[in-house]
Amino acid sequence: MPSANPTIQTSKTDEALRLFRKRDMLRMADALRAGIHRRTLYDLRDKGLIEAMSRGLYRLADAPPLADPDLVSVALRAPKGIVCLISALAFHEMTTQIPHEVSLAIPRNSVAPRIVYPPVRVFRLSPEPFEAGVETHIIDGIAVHIYSREKTLADCFKFRNTVGLDTALEAVRLYKQQGRVNVAAIMRFARICRVGRVMRPYLEALL
């Protein structure tokens, strides 16, 4: 069987690299839609020109280091998910914990995303709590949906048996230290999450 024309192969490689330079990161599905064959991607990977961030997600090997590769990877693999709880606390600098997994909120009846790496812990929320307090932050050029500081506090009390009450109380203290306190917003999200009565005495003592 005759070997592939090297000129054609070089053209395909150059085309794929141009696409990566435009977007920095690329999902396999997007590359295929753009006419890039999976063999070309595997060839680029084997040559060390691109690297796999997670299954089916690639970026240029010589690109600058990512500020938060885990959040970026999850946002690309699960664009409708929202970063929550410990991961949101870490993003907002409201915890001393280092997340070992990405906490991700999804609608209650939706299918959990299949993400092998980074580790992801899924939390299913009903419509109103899921949609409340969502912010979009651009991290490494990628839109990442993250709950606001105030919504995250309410979530931590709602899931206090999971994250730990100490973590929730630490988050309140660090929130206060940041100097941008919005008690009305916290209580609004507390009502949405149905933890108003639980949070009120702690807020009165700490804020």
Beta partners for 58? Answer: 26, 52
Structural domains in the chain? 6-60 (1.10.10), 69-206 (no CATH)
Residue 184 confidence (pLDDT): 94
pLDDT in tens, the chain (207 residues): 444 444 445 677 787 788 777 776 777 877 788 788 878 888 888 888 888 777 777 877 777 776 788 898 899 888 899 999 999 999 999 999 989 999 999 999 888 888 878 899 999 999 999 999 999 999 887 899 999 999 999 999 999 999 999 999 999 999 999 998 999 999 999 999 999 999 999 888 777
Residue 32 confidence (pLDDT): 80
* Three-class DSSP category at 184: helix
Residue 59 confidence (pLDDT): 77
Q: How many CB atoms lie within 10 A of CB 74?
A: 27
Calpha distance 136→142 (Å, rounded)? 10
Residue 167 confidence (pLDDT): 96
Residue 3 confidence (pLDDT): 46
Residue 2 confidence (pLDDT): 45
Q: Which residues contact 94 (CB under 8 A, 6 or more apart)?
A: 149, 152, 153, 170, 171, 174, 175, 178
Residue 124 in tokens? 């299913």
User: DSSP state, 64?
Assistant: P
